Amino acid sequence: MKQIYFLIAVLACGILSGCSKGGDRGELTGVPQRSFRAEVPYGMVYIPGGSFLMGQTDQDVTFAQIAQTKQVTVPPFFMDQTAITNSEYRQFVNWVRDSIAITNYVNDPKYYMTAQKGAAPSPSGKKYINWAYVKKYPVMSARKGAGAAAAAAKLQGMYYQGDDRVFDRNELDVRLLKYNYAVQVLRNAANYKDDKTKKRSDFILRDTVPVYPDTLVWLSDFSYAANEPMTESYFTHPAYRNYPVVGVTWRQARAFTVWRTRYNDAYKESRHLPTRSPYRLPTEAEFEYAARGGRIGTDYPWGGPYIKNAKGCLLANFKPGRGNYTDDGGAYTVNVKSYFPNDYGLYNMAGNVAEWTSSAFDESASTFVHDLAPTFDYEAKPSDPPVLKRKVVRGGSWKDIGYFLQNSTRTFEYQDTAKSYIGFRCVTHYLGRDIKDKR
């Protein structure tokens, strides 16, 4: 019994000495860091990593031979459950609008962060917007009271002027809404890592993107079609708030992912929390893998090979038959949570709107991309020919026939074009090991 007491005393002393404030005692213990527990980002679902046969599962009716089959592996990631909605994209537009209004027009000190008592001023001299104050006192609101008239007068420059005004209403000049951002092009950095003439700035992409969607696509995409009501109301009316945003170019979609990353980072950093992996557009392989929902060799996200269920109901929003657009429940787009989700919980991975991916389009990409996390990326320059500005579009849309809804069907659009049938959703890399790996 004495021996047992002695062993307990020794263990207790060892534990207490290990917990003392004496530091690491000269041992290799690693850098102290906050623990990180994976969280599912709001509005997203977890897509487990896995391997699948990417490419054609049905006959190639176009004889294009641009979707050759290839066994590939995709690491785990998170993906938006639905396409980005009008309401979600308007949050981005309103943020850009308020930023411009505060910095270029109002310039009221109350809208900026103030240095804490005793804190050193910013070395760069830059001022930062106090977004908590903006949410409490919106800069573009029609509020009343002291100073409201003066602020409204300063904001007149943000509205259409002169002959551009209709009934003398204050309508926002959306041409002013531009988002400036910078991102690192890591692929280029890797390609030139041994080139001593290159600087870090050579691999930083700086872009200025008009953020307001092209609402005229409802007319420019279709000749002799009375789509004026969609142009006038689709993006702005609350009836369409949960419909997918359209009229957004690939460059605008990427700018949105950068803003969404910085928006979330600002919240995390203010609370000293680890940040997430950046939001981005899905690669072509990620989109197809997620669309399949874990099913093997199927034609559509719900399985297939049919586009109707046993009761004869259409399973997506597309152009059925000879053009019976309303047979599936909507003449144009529909709510982003219409129809049943696939086995990963993703809505409308086929139909409703086709979606941008991050991948550049090349007819023979399947022959040269890697089989682990494959994608073909190319950062097109303004001077490049149009053929180098093609981006892969997946999923098919409300105006497409059933062939374009197939999981493996590839098509493209130019990165600077906007369409009434193309939207997007975001993904973010899963940091750490796969959730299903419990070792």
Q: Domains for the chain: give ranges and CATH numbers.
A: 46-85+242-248+280-439 (3.90.1580.10), 103-176 (no CATH)
**Per-residue pLDDT for 433 more than 80?**
no
**Phi, psi of 158, rounded to the nearest 5 degrees:** -90, -5
Tell me the two tokens of residue 80.
Answer: 């938006």
What pLDDT is attached to residue 20?
47
The region of weakest confidence among 19-33, 158-172, 176-190, 258-272 is 19-33
**How far apart, in whole angstroms, are the C-alpha atoms of residue 171 and residue 156?**
10
What distance separates the 2 farthest-apart alpha carbons in the chain?
99
For the stretch 416-430, pLDDT in tens is: 999 999 999 999 999
Report the C-alpha gap between 375 and 73 in whole angstroms. Answer: 11
Q: Which comes out higher in pLDDT, residue 312 or 354?
A: 354
pTM for the model stands at 0.90
pLDDT tens digit sequence for 171-185: 999 999 999 999 999
Average pLDDT, the chain: 89
Q: What is the DSSP letter of 105?
A: I
116-131, pLDDT tens digit by residue? 665 566 666 788 899 9
* Tokens representing residue 94 in the block: 């309103």
**Residues in Cβ contact with 71 at an 8 Å cutoff, skipping those fewer than 6 apart:** 51, 52, 53, 54, 371
Give the confidence band of 436 by pLDDT, cuts at 50, 70, 90: low
Asked whether 97 and 141 are in contact (CB, 8 A), the reply is: no
Distance CA(65)–CA(62), nearest Å, equals 8
Q: Is the pLDDT of residue 340 over 80?
A: yes
Given a cut of 70, is residue 62 above it in pLDDT? no
Is the pLDDT confidence value at 326 over 90? yes
d(CA 173, CA 161): 9
**Cα distance from N-terminal residue to C-terminal residue, the chain:** 38
